[in-house]
């Protein structure tokens, strides 16, 4: 079963709204074992919608069309569908009644243009509206099918789960399940990973299932995604477990998490398991690291707080750093010791560096010094040479420093 | 000029990454007066990429292809382009040298497969890589053109602005100049703005130039974009000035900045002009506000630093907040006074609130208390009721608090 998605709306093409519906549908389809072929965004233009539906339907068994079912003149998905089906639109009295009642129940008079939403291509089946005014449509085209749903996400989600997915599964007659697992890595390039995993990749290409892909995710590191197809969910998971282990055998040192985990959540969890609290001192990252750690719900049982010592005076006075140049490993160590003491945390982590645009005290842009004060009084430090660009350097600093802490635990 | 976007990557179809690149490109194209026809997502499958490029190029004058330029086996955009152009790939020695040097400068050995990124379709022009390892490509196909850029957003943005947009504009041969101005607003909904601007909008619909659009941008507020077309740049700017003034006449209180400005840069600039320094105390935002302020280059001449008092003990001990419930206007005031003193800044700004998922000490999720200690010893505070959702509530907190400071200056 191959299913494509067509998202209708000029506002999507103009970037005024990001099309998250297609992504959501792609995820749902994948986990139901249905292949996604294409996802297309097209504006509110009848000719182009019809052309898109026609060419998309040539290659797929099913299309889900999102949006363009509203009451206004630029909502023309119904007309496009009727043209593809080669039928007329006709008023569905039951739908009209429901829409009218919706308005009445909210104490409002129904504007006449709302009746457009009760127009249905002949031969199409209605997906009853439960959250909005527009019904969805199931429109057979020979052996194939087009589904139309409103673009409002929570209406779409509900109709997909209630009516579209069951219909798709009934049509596909296939019972196979597709499951993915993402291994999060940090510390090597995409090509470096590829080289270390070449044996696994060659083996996988022979067996064909699961598949492996690299997702370069900038300052989130490189993701290694395994996708397995099987008859049952547990068989798919078993396959993933086997190949997950083979991947880790080669790159165990780089894998810091799985699926929804990120460096922040992993570090917080590691600290939690060891019953250790963390305090941080930030200079170059200016609060970004604390901001990312506290984006994780439940950070408060581990994270004491941070001192953002952006001005050097704050380093000297509040963190007892020795006066002098402040981008060095010795300054980073003093910051770590100072913040551990000031915030009363078990561990002190500190970053100081140069984000640019210009170098500072002769230290190059991209230099990051990390200091770490451990519960036993041990103090260590390291220096990274990070990519240029203010935002990039700062984001890389956060994950590099947290990874240094993770490896030191 | 009609331009489509093709985003390449199975991870996009599977919904593991939301395709924000296309949306961003759509927005840029629109404000440059270039029509967007289709935006398509296709997986890492050579046959399907080629078919998509071919059918898309039939209808558009230009295509921007995002992604699939990395070094690994599933990065096949180069191969697809060569097939459409009907040419071979050849090694570009200069590109190879640059990639090799990038690795060397970071003290790493270049894995051989990185040379894949130096393979270029014959007849294509290189867009030099400045932020990553993969160069972009400008690939003529008869009178039409295909551009290829990496899928990593910050690499894509830079290449689009530096090389693709100028090339598109030169090709479009249009003599008229299109210029946009974005007025940044905070404090009212899209429909509220629409209501207050209805007179201006009606007037604009009569004259037809410039056009006005609302861009709802979540926690960045609502952007009001004016786009003017004229024979010369100065005429376009003159038009924008006239209508900018008419818009502001209606919503002056809501407009905080223009174009590339954001709330952080505006607040920093206002402080700079008044020669005032700022120190902040963050609880609920956990460093996010400091992180956003220090994302602005040059923040250091105004911003002293922050104390992220995530644990209540840090509030009591370091900021001298009275023991008791910590989400209240009185606690926010004490934090502001405390941080002003501890960091030695002219102004102290403090936020405390409940991001959820559950309420705290009987205070509802979404509550934000802001405290502000001014240079003259004046202390004020306010409370906001912000939208739910941890990330959303925290981001709204940052902009709400900074706007409170801006209005108090």
Predicted pLDDT of residue B192: 80
Q: What is the pLDDT of residue B107?
A: 79
Q: Where are the beta strands (DSSP E) in A196-289?
A: 211-216, 222-230, 255-258, 278-282
Which residue, among A347, A334, A351, has the nearest Cα to A376 in the 3D structure? A347
Distances (CA, A) of B365 to A277, B54, B356: 25, 51, 5
CA distance B111 to B341: 53
Q: State whether B364 and B231 are in the same domain.
A: no
SS3 B363: strand
| Cα atoms in the 13 Å half-sphere on the side-chain side of B174 | 16
Indicate whether A279 pLDDT > 90.
yes
Residues A235 and A275 both lie in one domain: no
By Cβ distance, the residue of A14, A39, A306 closest to B41 is: A39
| Whether A317 and B344 lie within 8 Å, measured CB to CB | yes
A10 and A121 both lie in a single domain: yes
Residue A154 has pLDDT above 90, yes or no: no
Question: Looking at the structure, do residues A206 and A222 belong to the same domain, yes or no?
Answer: yes
Radius of gyration for the alpha carbons in chain B, expressed in angstroms and rounded: 25
- What pLDDT, on the 0 to 100 scale, is given for residue B40? 97
pLDDT value of residue B175? 65
CB A291 within 8 A of CB B287: yes
CB contact, 8 Å: B361 with chain A? no
Cα–Cα distances in angstroms (integers) from residue A52 to residues A44, A48, A58, A217, B40, in the given order: 12, 6, 10, 31, 10
Confidence category of residue A174, pLDDT binned at 50, 70, 90: low
d(CA B261, CA B363): 34
In a shared domain, residues A164 and A189: no
CA B181 vs CA A15, A223, B244, B383: distances in Å: 16, 38, 8, 32
CA pair distance B37, B19, nearest whole angstrom: 17
Question: What CATH number did the domain enclosing B183 receive?
Answer: 3.30.70.2860
Note whether B248 and B289 are same-domain residues.
Answer: no
* Nearest alpha carbon to residue B379 among B340, B343, B407: B340
Interface pTM, i.e. ipTM: 0.76
Do B343 and A314 count as a contact with CB atoms less than 8 A apart? yes
| C-alpha to C-alpha distance for A143 and B47, rounded to whole angstroms | 24
* Cβ contact B306–A307 (<8 Å): yes
- What gap in Å lies between CA B200 and CA B194, rounded to an integer? 10
Number of domains within chain B: 3
Residue B174 contacts residue B33 (beta carbons within 8 Å): yes
Question: Is residue B112's pLDDT more than 90?
Answer: no
pLDDT in tens, A17-45: 889 999 999 988 987 778 899 999 999 89
Average model confidence (pLDDT) for chain B? 93
Which of residues 58 through 97 in chain A touch B, CB cutoff 8 A?
59
Q: Give the pLDDT of residue A179.
A: 81
Q: To probe the interface with A, which of B13, B190, B225, B393 has the most A CB atoms within 10 Å?
A: B13
Q: How far apart are CA B35 and CA B4, in angstroms?
A: 8
Task: Kindly state whether residues A268 and A229 are assigned to the same domain.
Answer: no
Co-location of B288 and B164 in the same domain: no
Chain B residues with CB inside 8 Å of A344's CB? 313, 317
B306 band by pLDDT with thresholds 50, 70 and 90 = very high
- pLDDT 10s digits, A91-147: 999 999 998 888 888 777 777 778 889 999 999 999 998 877 889 999 999 999 999
Residue B14 shares a structural domain with residue B158: yes
- Contact between A326 and A352 under an 8 Å Cβ cutoff? The reply is yes
Residue that the structure tokens 């390291």 belong to: A382
CA distance A182 to A42: 31
B170 to chain A, closest Cα gap in Å: 21
Q: Which domain holds residue A191?
A: 177-258
Hey, is the C-beta of A262 within 8 angstroms of any chain B C-beta?
A: no
Any CB–CB contact under 8 A between A299 and chain B? yes
Interatomic CA distance for residues B312 and B283, integer angstroms: 9
In B328-365, which positions are buried (b, 16+ CB within 10 angstroms) versus exposed (e)?
beebbbbbbbbbbebbbbbbbbbbbbbbbeeebeebeb
* Chain A contact present for B18, CB below 8 A: yes
Over residues B57-92, the pLDDT tens digits come to: 999 999 999 999 999 888 999 999 999 999 999 999
A154, A172, A190 — which closes off a domain? A172
Quick one: closest CA in A to B394, which residue? A295
> What confidence score (pLDDT) does residue A180 get?
84
Residue B394's domain is classified under what CATH number?
3.90.950.20
The phi-psi region of residue B262 (left if phi > 0; otherwise alpha if psi is between -120 and 50; otherwise beta) is beta
State whether A40 and B40 contact (CB < 8 Å). yes
Residue B349 and residue B222 in one domain: no
From B239, B258, B277, give the residue that closes a domain: B258
CATH code of the domain covering residue B117 = 3.40.980.10
3-state secondary structure of B306: strand
Structure tokens at A119: 């127009």
Same domain, residue pair A250 and A365: no
**% of chain A exceeding 90 in pLDDT:** 74
Q: Please report which helix (H) or strand (E) contains residue B202, including its range.
A: helix B198-207
Q: Answer whether A201 sits within 8 Å of B318, measured CB to CB.
A: no
Nearest residue to B53 via CA among B37, B69, B71, B77 = B77
Q: Which residues of B142-174 are buried (b: 16+ CB within 10 A; e: fewer)?
A: eeebbbbbbbbebbbbbbbeebbbebbbebbee
Last residue of a domain, which of B172, B206, B224?
B172
**Cα distance between residue B10 and residue B12, in whole Å:** 5
CA of A166, closest CA in chain B: separation in Å?
Answer: 19
Exposed (0-12), middle (13-18) or buried (19+): which is A170, by Cβ within 10 Å?
exposed
Same domain flag for A36 and A150: yes
Per-residue confidence at A227, pLDDT binned at 50, 70, 90? confident
CA distance B288 to A35: 40
Burial class of B292 by CB neighbour count within 10 A (0 to 12, 13 to 18, 19+) = buried
**Residue carrying the six token digits 């994270």:** A303
Give CA–CA dist A61/A72, Å, rounded.
30
Contacts 24+ apart (CB under 8 A), A77-82: A77/A8, A77/A49, A77/A148, A78/A116, A78/A119, A78/A120, A78/A121, A78/A137, A78/A148, A79/A46, A80/A46, A80/A49, A80/A50, A80/A53, A81/A53, A81/A121, A81/A124, A81/A137, A81/A139, A81/A146, A81/A148, A82/A121, A82/A122
Instruction: Give the rounded distance of the alpha carbon of A371 from its chain centre.
Output: 31
**Residue B197, C-beta contacts closer than 8 angstroms, at least 6 positions apart:** B212, B224, B247, B250, B251
Q: Enter the DSSP assignment of B352.
A: E
């Amino acid at each position: 079963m191959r299913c494509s998605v067509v998202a209708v709306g000029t506002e999507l093409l103009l970037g005024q709204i990001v099309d998250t519906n297609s992504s959501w549908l792609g995820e749902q389809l994948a986990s139901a074992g249905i292949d996604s072929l294409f996802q297309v965004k097209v504006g509110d233009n009848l000719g182009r919608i019809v052309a898109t539906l026609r060419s998309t339907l040539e290659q797929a068994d099913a299309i889900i069309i999102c949006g363009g079912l509203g009451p206004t003149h630029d909502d023309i998905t119904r007309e496009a569908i009727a043209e593809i089906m080669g039928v007329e639109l006709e008023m569905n009295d039951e739908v009209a009644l429901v829409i009218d009642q919706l308005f009445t129940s909210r104490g409002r008079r129904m504007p006449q243009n709302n009746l457009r939403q009760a127009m249905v291509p002949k031969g199409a089946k209605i997906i009853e509206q439960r959250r909005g005014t527009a019904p969805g449509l199931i429109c057979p085209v020979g052996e194939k099918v087009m589904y139309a749903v409103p673009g409002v996400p929570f209406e779409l989600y509900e109709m997909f789960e209630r009516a579209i997915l069951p219909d798709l599964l009934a049509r596909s007659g296939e019972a196979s399940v597709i499951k993915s697992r993402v291994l999060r890595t940090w510390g090597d390039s995409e090509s470096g990973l590829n080289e270390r995993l070449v044996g696994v990749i060659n083996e996988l290409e022979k067996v064909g299932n699961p598949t492996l892909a690299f997702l370069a995710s900038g300052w989130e590191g490189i993701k290694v995604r395994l996708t397995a197809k099987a008859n049952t969910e547990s068989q798919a998971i078993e396959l993933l477990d086997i190949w997950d282990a083979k991947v880790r055998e080669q790159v165990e040192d780089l894998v810091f998490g799985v699926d929804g985990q990120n460096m922040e959540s992993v570090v917080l969890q590691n600290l939690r398991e060891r019953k250790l609290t963390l305090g941080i001192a930030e200079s170059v990252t200016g609060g970004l690291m604390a901001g990312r750690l506290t984006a994780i719900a439940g950070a408060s049982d581990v994270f004491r707080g941070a001192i953002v010592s952006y001005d050097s005076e704050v380093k000297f006075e509040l963190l007892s750093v020795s006066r002098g140049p402040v981008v060095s490993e010795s300054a980073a160590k003093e910051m770590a010791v100072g913040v551990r003491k000031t915030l009363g945390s078990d561990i002190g982590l500190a970053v100081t560096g140069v984000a640019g645009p210009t170098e500072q005290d002769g230290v190059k842009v991209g230099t990051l010094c990390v200091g770490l004060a451990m519960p036993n009084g041990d103090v260590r430090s390291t220096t990274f040479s990070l990519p240029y660009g203010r935002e990039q350097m700062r984001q890389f600093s956060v994950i590099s420093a947290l990874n240094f802490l993770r490896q030191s635990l």
